[in-house]
Amino acid sequence: MSWAGKILRVNLTAGTVKSEPLNMEWARAYLGSRGLGSKYLISEIDPKVDPLSPDNKIIWATGPLTGTMASTGGRYTVITKGPLTGAIACSNSGGYWGAELKMAGWDMIIFEGKSAKPVYLYINDDDAELRDASHLWGQSVWKTEEMLKTGLQDPLLRVSSIGKSGENGVLYAAVVNDLHRAAGRSGVGAVMGSKNLKAIAVRGTKGVGNIRDPKAFMKVTFEKKKILAENAVTGQGLPAYGTQVLMNVINEMGALPTRNHRDVQFEGAKDISAEAMATPRESDGKKHLVTNQACFGCTIACGRISKMDEGHFTVANKPQYWGANGGLEYEAAWALGAANGVNDLEALQYANMLCNEEGFDPISFGATVGAVMELYEMGVLTAEQLGIDAKFGSAQALAHFAEITAKGEGFGKEIGQGSKRLTEKYGHPDLSMSVKGQEFPAYDGRAIQGIGLAYATSNRGACHLRGYTIASEVLGIPVKTDPVESEGKPELVKAFQDATAAFDSSGLCVFTTFAWGVADLAPQLQAACNEEFTTEELEKIGERIWNMEREFNNAAGFTAKDDNLPKRLLTEAAKTGASKGMVSKLPEMLPKYYAARGWDPEGRPTAETKARLSL
């Protein structure tokens, strides 16, 4: 049946670790990972709980296809109530950790309460115990992983941990595994830190052997891998250039948010693009990009491994950053670069490494720096307050802000609270480019209308991965839709959101959806689990998960007013590009979206919708 059938429940207050059977009725209704983990969380906490209180819970969850031979079967999800937004937080990561947990025989870990002192959880197949982490507290993610592998004398150990930002309460702190893969958004790492939980170290030797029909599973996964290999995006674009392939594409169409969304095109985009990463530097003749890298079971290999110019001002006296390291993804390169007007590729990589090393989200960090730079240019913030001259385009300011945010020093403490709180404090809340308190990713909602609606309605705050309409609006997958057209986008957004929820919950990577639809996922789940997982049933499961998350947010105090975009996108027209003169048409699209969802005008699922979805 592909689920391990067991979960670990860890009470940090009491120091207990107990095994309990997985609720199989819920597993059939919500699959696993995002869906099943969210079902457990929502069933066990008060929606109005303080995210950083001991009463909040945090869950690590795998999917039924995690750890199997299905392509990209290495994903896991961290689910909690998020401190950045106050909404449901559900953050997905790749690498090898998720597969290791599944191979140790566990579907999920639920943490409740708060430890009196720093601890980590050690799992070795069936054995699991809390151990003292006093020696790890204050260490970076990188050092924590090294110390655990050395101390436990196991180089094959997989570690999921927080750095200093999670300990210091950075509200967008991440949970990092395998050094540079991260459950990056919404502040899941801050919740981990609030519980004095430093790390989860896992060693699994059992494998995933309970596939329903192994021969059928091998056959169907082989067929689906062939589709990925033959697809232009998953077989060519992503392996060669990674997600950074989008930088020049999005910039040319006038959809690259620049200088805190004041502009939609960045004159320095080519300097921080995938092509720039693959071109030898003038300084030392070496390429920034060393190689690509794959997560567990992945046949796409979109990950980047990069090496900095050792003479660059950020690392000239810091040899610890000279080695090959996790490279820039498109979202991070945009947030650290175009969002701040910075076109220094090496400075972006340095800031990105600090985000990995100390565990904080480069999207929220970079977007918050964009707001800081705008406030500085307006004269609201001063060089004395910030510790540096912070005009748009300053690579020195970007590097400085990354350092002080990583350490939790000076103005870095304020940057670590995110743009919503920071701009409110200094009297200009409209300068926070966020939804529900979470900062935008790298696409402008004026130039790409569907993604603007997806941001506004995302259950975890502004997010591209909750309904990646860029696939259709820019890349023409599965059908081409006009990015500046609003008609039909409410239905498109709903379809993408529901399908993504199903893929996330299976344990596979959303990048497979460039080549696959739900009809490609269904036979893999049928062979691994059971015959109930038809295309129609998976679409319904995705819709059920979306509505369940929405119900939690509504109970937490969110209303239709929170499905909004910043004033800038609704009133300030794009200055250049194909969408010149346009604003977001969100007010037109939102009522149609609610209707397509089966919600009332206040954004609440109707009784009929809840009955149809068995909620």
Mean per-residue pLDDT, 478-498? 97
Domain range annotation of the chain: 6-203, 243-433, 449-565+584-613
d(CA 197, CA 185): 18
* CA dist., res. 343 & res. 394, Å (int): 9
* Integer Cα distance of 223 and 146 in angstroms: 39
Q: 88: helix, coil or strand?
A: strand
Q: Is the pLDDT of residue 25 over 90?
A: yes
CB 566 within 8 Å of CB 576: no
pLDDT at 456 over 90: yes
Mean pLDDT (whole number) for 377-391: 98
pLDDT tens, 306-351? 999 999 999 999 999 999 999 999 999 999 999 999 999 999 999 9
Name the burial class of residue 23, with classes exposed (0-12), middle (13-18) and buried (19+) by CB atoms within 10 angstroms of its CB: middle
User: What residues are paired with 438 via a beta bridge?
Assistant: 435
Mean per-residue pLDDT of the chain: 97
Q: How far is CA 481 from CA 233, 484, 489, 493, in A?
A: 18, 9, 9, 12
Q: Give CA–CA dist 533/607, Å, rounded.
A: 25
pLDDT score for 257: 98
- Decide which of 1.10.3720.10, 3.60.9.10, 3.90.1200.10, 3.30.300.30 is the CATH code for 6-203: 3.60.9.10
Read off the pLDDT of each residue in 196-225 and give the average, rounded to a whole number: 97
The gap between the terminal CA atoms of the chain, to the nearest Å, is 24
Whole-number Å distance between alpha carbons of 472 and 467: 11
**What is the C-alpha to C-alpha distance for residues 86 and 583, in angstroms, rounded to an integer?**
28
pTM as predicted: 0.98
Q: How confident is the model at residue 464 (pLDDT cuts 50, 70, 90)?
A: very high
Percent of the chain residues topping a pLDDT of 70: 100
For residue 282, pLDDT beyond 90: yes
Predicted local distance difference test score (pLDDT) of residue 1: 80
**Per-residue pLDDT at 209 exceeds 90:** no
70 membership: H or E segment, kind and range: none
Q: Dihedral sign, CA of 333, 336, 340, 343? A: negative
Res 531: pLDDT:
85
Q: What is the DSSP letter of 237?
A: I
Residue 339 φ/ψ, nearest 5 degrees: -60, -25
Can you count the helices (H) and strands (E) in the chain?
25, 17
Angle at 471 between CA 465 and CA 472, to 5 degrees: 125
Query: What CATH architecture is 449-565+584-613?
Result: Orthogonal Bundle (1.10)
State residue 309's pLDDT score: 97
Quickly tell me which residue has 């260490």 as its tokens.
Answer: 139
In angstroms, the Cα distances linking 322 to 27, 180, 242, 350 are 45, 16, 22, 10
What angle do the packed helices 395-407 and 345-358 form, to 10 degrees?
Answer: 10
Q: Please return the burial class of 254, using the count of CB atoms within 10 Å of its CB with bins 0-12, 13-18 and 19+.
A: buried
- Report residue 418 as tokens: 């995110």
What is the rounded average pLDDT of the residues 337-366?
Answer: 98
Residue 528 φ/ψ, nearest 5 degrees: -80, -35
Whole-number Å distance between alpha carbons of 121 and 10: 9
| 389: number of Cβ within 10 Å | 12
CA-based nearest residue to 227, from 31, 607, 572, 512: 512
Q: DSSP readout, 385-433?
A: HHTS---TT-HHHHHHHHHHHHHT-TTHHHHTT-HHHHHHHTT-GGG--
pLDDT in tens, 93-132: 999 999 999 999 999 999 999 999 999 999 999 999 999 9
Work out the pLDDT band at 519, boundaries 50, 70, 90.
very high
Q: Are 478 and 572 in contact (CB under 8 A)?
A: no
**Predicted local distance difference test score (pLDDT) of residue 297:** 97
243-433 folds as 1.10.569
Rounded Cα distance between 212 and 255, Å, is 46
Under a CB-based contact definition with an 8 Å cutoff, are residues 241 and 328 in contact? Answer: no
Distance from C-alpha of 247 to C-alpha of 334, rounded to nearest angstrom: 8
